[in-house]
Amino acid sequence: MANSPVTADGSVLFRKMKRALAILLKLPLYVLAVPAVVLIRLVKPWLLVRLGSMVSNRFGHFASNTEVYLCERDAGINVPKQRYVDIFYMAEKPISNQHLATMWKRVLRVWPAWIMAPIRRINLLIPGSAVYEIGNNTQGDRDVHNLLDQFPPHLQFTAEEKARGEAGLRAMGIPSEAVFVCLNVRDSVYLEAHIKGDWGYHNCRDSNIQNYVLAVEELAERGYFVIRMGAKVREAMKSTHPMVIDYAINGMRSEFMDIYLGAKCAFCISTGTGWDSIAEILRRPIVYVNLIPLRYMTTSSARFITITKKHVFREQEKILTLREILSCPDYASNSIDLIENTPEEIRDVVIEMVERLNGTWQPHEDDEALQKRFWEIFPTDAVDAYQGKPLHGEIRARFGAAFLRNNRDWLQ
């Protein structure tokens, strides 16, 4: 039965009272923040104090934005010329991974949000506040300066964590010295459950976990364990191979092991979502499959290989060429269908990564010509649609060789 007007009005009144009470409880913190801001301003000639909030509620940004900030700091990019100190806080809730938060606190000054948020908000009310803001990286989570190839990872495991991680692998049945690959396939369940809001516009990035079984069982036959990642997933992966582990549903998942597995995998297979940023910032190779939008592919390192979904004009039943995909203003519009990579396409690009890593890759005669043609068409100077900042630096990644061989007409 629908709520009565009285019940509805009472609910609205309760929410308003709750918000008012929250404001009253925080008021003393804002009063105390005023002298803190005054002090920050007074000491600027000798020490610049900068403040910033971490993107702690989105796993990918929590990992990548932070690591890119640290690399840019090491490279002297986007840093003040005077002596300075940066102080972060985690205001975005819920925090996407508590263990990642613990690890970031080892390398950054991260203070409690209940202290820092009022100080920063008061500072923002006063003219000239921008100089006291840490601000964004050159382009958020994008490594446009190719810095991850130049600097070592900033996240390090303690001796206790290493022992804990190895014990976790043994508990999953992975022997010491065995190699494993992580599989990260997006569906909409996690984001819908984790953060309130309408995230339906991201659903075009989803793909069917069953289309990966051929590739993972081929890996298993080659001696790799395969671990299917995920905090919340729509369905189990239908493989009975003993070396394929559905960690997302087997009850063994933990926030710590999410980080440890990303650090220790031989490489990662991903659709370009959230968790794979752990593999990226810990300098692991990544095969991106079913990746869209293509102009956002990760190009900053030779560790990355990508293939994308096919795009089809619905009315004409025509597959779009690469050039048409890249020029389409709305790749996910109602007039375009997105066709997932076939199990064979996924297997082929995964095996390309395996063979490149173990030194047995045998290119075809025209592979480099096809690769060159792809990058002649790809918009290496593309900018982000929202901020207008560059998406790519020096191009070091590759597009899947077998995909290009089997779709030559696509390179038009």
Q: Can you tell me the mean pLDDT for 163-186?
A: 96
Q: What is the CATH number of the domain that holds 263?
A: 3.40.50.2000
Residues 175 and 141 in one domain: no
How does pLDDT run across 209-250, given as a tens digit for each residue? Answer: 999 999 999 999 999 999 999 988 889 999 999 999 999 999
Based on the fold, state whether residues 129 and 172 are members of the same structural domain. Answer: no
**Same structural domain for residues 127 and 206?**
no
pLDDT, the chain, mean? 90
In this structure, the answer to whether residues 165 and 143 fall within a common structural domain is no
Is residue 164 situated within a structural domain? Answer: yes
Lowest mean pLDDT among 25-29, 275-279, 385-389: 25-29
Contacts 24+ apart (CB under 8 A), 249-258: 250/172, 252/168, 252/171, 252/172, 254/99, 254/168, 255/97, 255/98, 255/99, 255/100, 256/99, 256/161, 256/164, 256/165, 256/168, 257/165, 257/168, 258/97, 258/99, 258/229, 258/231
Q: Does residue 298 lie within any of the structural domains?
A: yes
CA distances from 348 to 120, 204, 305 (A): 50, 23, 11
Q: Does 301 map to a domain? A: yes
- b/e burial code for range 163-185 (CB count within 10 A of at least 16 → b): eebeebbeeeebeeeeebbbbbb
- Alpha-carbon distance 67 to 150, whole Å? 13
Residues 263 and 202 in one domain: yes
**What pLDDT does residue 317 have?**
77
Above pLDDT 90, what percent of the chain? 75
Q: Residue 128 belongs to what domain range?
A: 25-147
- Residues 70-99 have pLDDT tens digits of 999 999 999 999 999 999 999 888 999 999
Considering the domain architecture, whether residues 357 and 209 belong to the same structural domain is answered as: yes
> Does residue 218 sit in the same domain as residue 326?
yes
What confidence category does residue 19 fall into, taking pLDDT thresholds of 50, 70 and 90? low
Which residue type, as a one-letter code, is found at position 209?
Answer: I
CA distance 175 to 124: 54
Q: What is the pLDDT of residues 266-319, one digit of tens each?
A: 999 999 988 999 999 999 999 999 999 999 999 999 999 999 999 988 777 788
Last residue of a domain, one of 108, 126, 147: 147
β-pair type (267-270, 286-291): parallel
Q: Same domain for 106 and 180?
A: no
Q: List, as own/partner pairs, every contact residues 166-175 make where C-beta atoms lie below 8 angstroms and the sequence separation is at least 24, other chains included.
A: 168/252, 168/254, 168/256, 168/257, 168/260, 169/264, 171/252, 172/227, 172/245, 172/247, 172/250, 172/252, 173/242, 173/245, 174/225, 174/245
Flag whether 390 is in a domain. Answer: yes
Residue 16 within a domain:
no
Q: Are residues 182 and 325 in the same domain?
A: yes
Structural domain total, the chain: 2
- Same structural domain, 185 and 252: yes
**Is pLDDT of 202 > 60?**
no
Confidence at 328, pLDDT banded by 50, 70, 90: confident
Confidence band of 4 (pLDDT split at 50, 70, 90): very low
**Do 340 and 237 have their domain in common?**
yes
**Is residue 309 in some structural domain?**
yes
Pick the range with the lowest mean pLDDT from 18-22, 25-29, 368-372.
Answer: 18-22
Answer whether residue 13 is part of any domain.
no
If one compares 136 and 112, the residue with the highest pLDDT of the two is: 112
Q: Is residue 3 part of a domain?
A: no
Q: What is the pLDDT of residue 204?
A: 61
Res 387: pLDDT:
80
Res. 21 pLDDT band, cuts 50 70 90: low
Taking the whole predicted model, whether its pTM rises above 0.85 is answered as: yes
